[in-house]
Amino acid sequence: MDRKRRYFNRYKRAAGEYLNDRSRLNNLLVKAREKMEGGRSQLSEAKDTILLFSRLLRAYVKGEYRDIPREKVLLIIGAFIYLVSPIDAIFDFMPGGLVDDAAIFFWLLNSMRDELAAFREWEQLPDEEIQ
């Protein structure tokens, strides 16, 4: 098995563990928000995208929104794990070090356009219609 596949499988396994532990997932999302709000310009451009994925995960875990395949939820969680991880393709402390983190979320945004459009539509529904 090549190195990229092993790396991906490790994040996917970890994502499943986070999905099964609400407290741990919430802590991950808090850390991601803290990192985003750290004033780094590279992440500020991706902030809306990251917040969108965060809202989707919270709704999914609460059981409020389930119109997205579990595999895609795991990809989103994996992106958050990568975001908060101190070890990634470009170390965060280096110039441009958060570009890879933001790029992952933009890749997810592009690959999940239909799912995100459906989620945004769901978010706009009045509370009495959500159920």
Q: What residues in the chain have per-residue pLDDT under 50?
A: 1, 89-97
Determine the Cα–Cα distance for residues 122 and 116; give it in Å rounded to an integer.
10
What pLDDT is attached to residue 2?
62
Q: Which pLDDT belongs to residue 14?
A: 87
Q: What does the pLDDT look like over 39-56, one tens digit per residue? A: 555 555 667 888 899 999
The count of domains in the chain is: 1
Q: Where are the alpha helices (DSSP H) in 1-130?
A: 3-19, 22-36, 41-44, 47-61, 70-84, 99-111, 113-124
Query: Taking the CA of residue 4 as centre, how many other CA atoms within 13 Å lie in the half-sphere pointing to its CB?
Result: 1
**Domain span at 116:** 3-129
pLDDT given at position 36: 73
What is the reported pLDDT for 89?
46
